[in-house]
Structure 1
Amino acid sequence: MAEKTDWEARAANLLKAELKRKGVTYAQLVDRLAEIGIYEKEPNIRNKLSRGKFTAAFMLACFEAIGTVDLRVV
């Protein structure tokens, strides 16, 4: 299995940190994504975040779904 690049790890950590900060579980994220028309299963989300393999569009949709308005990327 290919290892995560630094950029993939950084993206996954950014999204996981925002979920934690907002107090949103993966199961809740599934429901919130469905509300905006994106249908994922919890194991798929868990795998995406574990591997760090997801599109920028998916990450933006997650931020929208959990109500992230401002994001500091450093």
Structure 2
Amino acid sequence: MPEKTDYELMAANLLKAELKRKGVTYAQLVEKLAAIGVDEKEVNVRNKLSRGKFTAAFLLQCLTAIGVATLKLD
């Protein structure tokens, strides 16, 4: 399997950290995504985050769904 790029790793870690900070599980994330009209299965979300392969749109959808208003990138 190809290695994750630095930016893929950064995106995955950023989203995982925000989920942990908000206390949101993958199952809850799926529910919150559904509430904003995004149809995802828990296994797909789990795979996307473990692989670090997802679109910027998916990242923004997740952050919006869990109520993240600001990000700190450093």
Q: What amino acid is aligned across from residue 27 of structure 2 in structure 1?
A: A
Gaps of 5+ in 1: none
For residues 1-45 of structure 1, the C-alpha deviation after alignment (integer angstroms, 9 at most, x for no partner) is 111111100100000000000000000000000000000000000
Aligned to 1:42: 42
Aligned to 2:64: 64
Which stretches of structure 1, 4 residues or longer, exceed 4 Å deviation after superposition? none
Aligned to 2:22: 22
In 2, Cα distance between the equivalents of 1:27 and 1:69? 21
Number of residues of Structure 1 aligned to a counterpart in Structure 2: 74
Q: Please report the TM-score for the alignment, with normalisation by the length of structure 2.
A: 0.97
Q: What is the deviation of 1:70?
A: 1.1
Aligned to 1:52: 52
CA-atom RMSD in angstroms = 0.5
Aligned to 1:33: 33
Q: Please report the TM-score for the alignment, with normalisation by the length of structure 1.
A: 0.97
1:6 lines up with 2:6 in the alignment: yes
SS for the counterpart of 1:18 is helix
